[in-house]
Amino acid sequence: MAKPAAKPSSPNPKELQEEALRCFGKRLQQERERQGLSMRQLALDTRVSTAVLEALEKGWLQRLPEAAFLGTILHKLAERLSLPGAEIDQEIKAALPPLYKSNKQASDRITGFTLGSIELFSTWQGTIAYGAMVLVLIYGLNLQQRQLASANGISIAPISPNPTLKKQETPTKQLLKLYPELRPLP
């Protein structure tokens, strides 16, 4: 009994994008080497870190920035290496996921904006949430201190020095009492 032929599975769009990005990285590496540029020199010329360049050229996709930044980086690199514009635009579109979804796709999703989706320090929403949290905490601390002050739980007046403590003699006076033959310096 013969086994049925397995259907070739078509790669998913994410795999296609990853492969296109790897091919684009190899192309950038070949062009950079053809022009005799070091990775460091290309990084200085384009203001793209060498870590991102290395990740792009070696296909380390997990080390690359997100798509919005990566698109700009790829355009900068292609421009610096004088690669043909229209052809490069097609390759970049194939390599990157779409940045904006259609309105129909966006309306299908109910979740939208949640507090869990905020990256606290890297987005403007996170900055606003962090600032609001700090202001609320400062207000709460101020409110607590006011309540303690009104209930005489704390004293607002500064602590006065205790006059009953005997003022200690300076070390010079103590030394002169022990050794009366010494004379103090002028």
**Which pLDDT tens digit goes with each residue over 115-140?**
555 566 677 887 888 899 999 999 99
Do 91 and 119 fall into the same domain?
no
Do 24 and 88 fall into the same domain?
yes
Closest by CA to 69, choosing from 123, 130, 31, is 123
Q: Does pTM surpass 0.75?
A: no
**Is 34 a domain residue?**
yes
**Is 74 a domain residue?**
yes
Is residue 31 scored above 50 in pLDDT? yes
Question: Is the Cβ–Cβ distance between 22 and 59 less than 8 Å?
Answer: yes
- Structural domain for 136, as ranges: 115-152
Closest by CA to 92, choosing from 76, 114, 110, is 76
pLDDT tens for each residue of 79-116: 888 888 777 777 777 777 664 444 444 444 445 556 55
**Is 22 a domain residue?**
yes
Do 26 and 78 fall into the same domain?
yes
Q: How many domains does the chain have?
A: 2
Do 119 and 85 fall into the same domain?
no
Which residue type occupies 39? M
